Structure formats: structure tokens, C-alpha cells
Amino acid sequence: MPRVIFIEHDGVRREVDAPVGLSILEIAHQNDIELEGACEGSLACATCHVIVDDEWWSKLGPASEEEEDMLDLAFGLEKTSRLGCQIIMSEELDGIVIHLPKQS
């Protein structure tokens, strides 16, 4: 099974199973990783903002216009920021490194 590596707010690294077809937000919730997702993945907020490790950024498809609009509301936005609800796990993303942004 593919894996996701989360780097939590405090720098702790957690490697978890990542079923294909689930979003990074869903995978985080299944593993008690602190990623809010207030709108439950409906692309209506930016509370599942994550920062994709540079080496994985090019492996993701481009963000939609709706995702870009929501990202504009995110705290601590970086060039590799995405919404966790919009990154869908695939075999090609096995080992992806996701950083949780520092909390405000």
C-alpha cells in the first residue's frame, strides 16, 4: 500500500498507509493527524492547507481555479501550498512528503 509522510507542526515525522483514491485530508483524519478540514473537503475553506515537499510538487496536477481561490485565504501560504482535500492518493504518490503549516 502507498504511504504518505506527514511532517507535523512540531517537526515530528509520521509515515502512514495511504489508500489509493483517498485525499490527503481523509488520510490525515484516519490517522489522527491534526488537519482540520472544516468544510469536509467541499472546497469551501482553506483549513486543510498543506505544503507539499519540493521534490513532489511536480508530480501533482495543477490546482484548479477554485482551489487557488481558497488557497488565497490560507495562513502561511508557500509556493508549494495545496489543499489536502484536493490531493488524491495514487500509486505514483507513494512516499509523498506533506508538511503541515505552522499554526497562527
Structural domains of the chain sorted by starting position, each given as residue range(s) with its CATH number in brackets? 3-99 (3.10.20.30)
Residue with cell 475553506: 45
As a whole-number percent, the residues of the chain with pLDDT over 70 amount to 99
- The Cα-based distances of 10 to 3, 17, 52, 79, 81 in angstroms read 20, 21, 16, 21, 18
Taking only the tens place, the pLDDT of each residue in 10-58 is: 999 999 999 999 999 999 999 999 999 999 999 999 999 999 999 999 9
Question: Which pLDDT belongs to residue 53?
Answer: 97
CA 51, distance to chain mean position in Å, is 7
Question: Which pLDDT belongs to residue 24?
Answer: 98
Q: Which pTM does this prediction carry?
A: 0.95
Residue with cell 505552522: 102
Nearest to 68 by CA among 88, 38, 46, 47: 46
Query: What band does 102 get if pLDDT is binned at 50, 70 and 90?
Result: confident
For the chain, the average pLDDT equals: 95
